[in-house]
Structure 1
Amino acid sequence: MKAMFEYIGIDKTESIKVRHIVQKNIDIPWHFHPEYEIVVILRGAGNVFIGDGMDRYEAGDTLLIGSNVPHVFIDDSHNKEKVDENGIEVVVVQFRSAFFSGFSDLKEFYNVSSLLNKMQCGVKIAGKVENAIATKFCVLAQLSGLKRITEFLHILDLIGSYKNLHLINPIAAASILPNMRSHRILKVIQFMNNNYHHDLKLAQLARLANMETTSFSRYFKHHTRKTFTGYLNELRLSYACKLLIEGSLSVTEICYETGYNSISHFNRQFKRVYNLTPKAYRARFYTQH
């Protein structure tokens, strides 16, 4: 399915657009826009698709989405067991990259610039900080003028300082994370991105990095925060999600296209990560679109 362009319509006299939305469900299709977007979930739950990644969201979560990154929120309104009769309630903040023009290279804006880069992967704020951040955005919706701008910058700086932000799209993350800027690790990641559908082995990647297998295994985990097997599996499943959304291949074809040699193994791995079978994942995406 091709993502639709959405015109946001931020007034030229505005720096950011903040909306407090209460409605029965989320009915915006798979879309993209040049503005950055932050969505605070106050009520409701469902699945969010950002680029090639997918994650679950619920009340208290905050999702951050980069410029021109296709995305869609599919709430649980179609699921009678999970639906909230009160509908959904969100705070949506949207802003242009031009808002930071002339500031992004300043040392004082390091946290904000780093966060904007990570937003291209899709960011989910979870854990102990999620409710505190959600509360701050709710307060932001009540402010205006210079107070709104200064509070907004403070929130972005605060989020940018967090060390363990959850990135939803692992493929986009490969060239963005600060600890993956080493030429050697980027060479390995690029090779994996181009050859994930082949039978890749740890020793093969170690040779590519000109390292011993044991040393490379530690090196890879240090830079990606994942084991080689875990990262490869996540990479394959992320591409599988993309193919499922595009809808042109069968589940069996996608299984082999993404490097799995057993449909049962593919189904188990997919369900372990997404808590859905590939068939159910595709059906959920198309339920409202």
Structure 2
Amino acid sequence: MKPVFAKILDGKVNDVYSLKVVDAPYFSTEFHFHEECQLTYTLESEGRRMIGDSIADFTSDELIFVGSNLPHVWHNHKQCEDENENTAYARSISIFIHPNKILGLFREPDTIERVKNFFRIAKRGMKFDGLIKEKLQQAMLKVSAQTTEIKRLIALLQILDLLCSTTSYELLASPGYTNNYQLKDNDRMDKILKYVFDNFNQEILLTTAAEMTNMNKQAFCRYFKNRTQKTFVTFVNEVRIGHACKLMAQTDLQISELAYSCGFNSLTNFNKFFKLAKGITPKEYKKMLIVG
């Protein structure tokens, strides 16, 4: 899935931020990136998201900050799209902040450096939980409820202050991640990501993926790794492991049942790839969930 470059504030030279409220059957599956940073509060929905090279399931009540030019997508499960064609299932509030323009509002060197440092860290993407998540969510609702531009800007600066003051977040993309996507790329990656997200619980063949992009296997492997910084097999297994973690948290399925329901053809492979991805075995992970 090729990330499309998007201009959020194009034509609005003086705007430092933009507010977007989504109330739709499902989120767009377009993989894209933009210069503006994006703070997204998912009020209602579930599916799978990709931010940089981070792949994980998402659910309602999630709060994510996406840094400048970091490719990302929120993709609903296919069954959710099918079942909710006529109902609003995807609800979210997003605030887009232009980093350079908002820095232009400040004059004190310490403040400028503080905000710059936050934007540097945010290039890997951030997930917030706990008290800071609650404060940010309340502040975002406050921004969306304001009726005047001055009040919205004041509420926005309060959000920025919260973001720059906390260290309570999970970084999403890996430390060495860089955006290698080019605007001249065609829709090859669009097809592949959607194909994997919708079919990870079935057999996914490298040959099939290569054919979908009109490449041979060797060329496809090079192309995919250059764009995502991981092999296709690793990518597919990470999607499957992410779903397995979700099922462990939400169901009482046995580990063997989890393995096959997530697309692994053997319990041995599931245990092997789970430990590679998480550093512990599925059994240890499940026990940790119970204790927690």
Question: TM range, normalised to the smaller chain?
Answer: 0.5 to 0.7
- Percent of matched pairs sharing the same residue: 18
Change over 3 Å in CA distance of 1:12–1:55 after alignment to 2: same
Aligned to 1:195: none
Aligned to 1:189: none
1:152 aligns with 2:177: no
Kept after mapping to 2: 8 A contact 1:44/1:87 = yes
Aligned to 1:4: 4
Aligned to 2:89: 87
Give distance in 2, aligned partners of 1:138 and 1:13. Answer: 23
One-letter amino acid of the counterpart of residue 90, structure 1: S
Give distance in 1, aligned partners of 2:31 and 2:235. Answer: 23
Aligned to 2:79: 78
Superposed displacement of residue 269, structure 1: 2.5
Q: Secondary structure at the match of 1:89?
A: strand
Aligned to 1:140: 143
Give distance in 2, aligned partners of 1:119 and 1:109. Answer: 15
Superposed displacement of residue 163, structure 1: 1.9
Q: Which digits, 9 at most, give the CA deviation of each residue in 1:205-260, with x for residues without a partner?
A: xxxxxxxxxxxxxxxxxxxxxxxxxxxxxxxxxxxxx74985995528999xxxxx
Give distance in 2, aligned partners of 1:150 and 1:252. Answer: 44
Kept after mapping to 1: 8 A contact 2:103/2:115 = no
Q: TM-score, normalised by structure 2?
A: 0.57
Residue range with higher mean Cα deviation, 84-93 or 37-46: 84-93
Give distance in 1, aligned partners of 2:29 and 2:128. Answer: 22
Aligned 1:154-193 pairs, distance under 5 A:
154-172=158-176
Aligned 1:201-216 pairs, distance under 5 A:
none
Superposed displacement of residue 88, structure 1: 1.0
Give distance in 1, aligned partners of 2:167 and 2:230. Answer: 38
Give distance in 1, aligned partners of 2:171 and 2:150. Answer: 31
Q: Secondary structure at the match of 1:62?
A: strand
One-letter amino acid of the counterpart of residue 23, structure 1: A
Give distance in 2, aligned partners of 1:53 and 1:172. Answer: 12
Give distance in 2, aligned partners of 1:272 and 1:101. Answer: 38
Superposed displacement of residue 111, structure 1: 4.4
Aligned 1:1-289 pairs, distance under 5 A:
1-10=1-10, 11-78=12-79, 86-102=88-104, 103=106, 106-143=109-146, 144-172=148-176, 243=225, 251=233, 266-269=272-275, 272=278
Superposed displacement of residue 151, structure 1: 1.4
Q: TM-score, normalised by structure 1?
A: 0.58
Q: Secondary structure at the match of 1:136?
A: helix
Residue range with higher mean Cα deviation, 58-67 or 243-252: 243-252
Kept after mapping to 1: 8 A contact 2:53/2:229 = no
Change over 3 Å in CA distance of 1:165–1:173 after alignment to 2: farther
Superposed displacement of residue 265, structure 1: 6.2
Superposed displacement of residue 86, structure 1: 4.0
One-letter amino acid of the counterpart of residue 103, structure 2: S
Superposed displacement of residue 171, structure 1: 1.8
Q: Secondary structure at the match of 2:175?
A: helix
Give distance in 1, aligned partners of 2:22 and 2:64. Answer: 15
Taking only aligned residues, the RMSD between alpha carbons, in angstroms, comes to: 3.9
Superposed displacement of residue 95, structure 1: 2.1
One-letter amino acid of the counterpart of residue 233, structure 2: V
Give distance in 2, aligned partners of 1:270 and 1:158. Answer: 35
Aligned to 1:201: none
Change over 3 Å in CA distance of 1:79–1:154 after alignment to 2: same
Superposed displacement of residue 30, structure 1: 1.3
Kept after mapping to 1: 8 A contact 2:37/2:68 = yes
Superposed displacement of residue 266, structure 1: 4.8
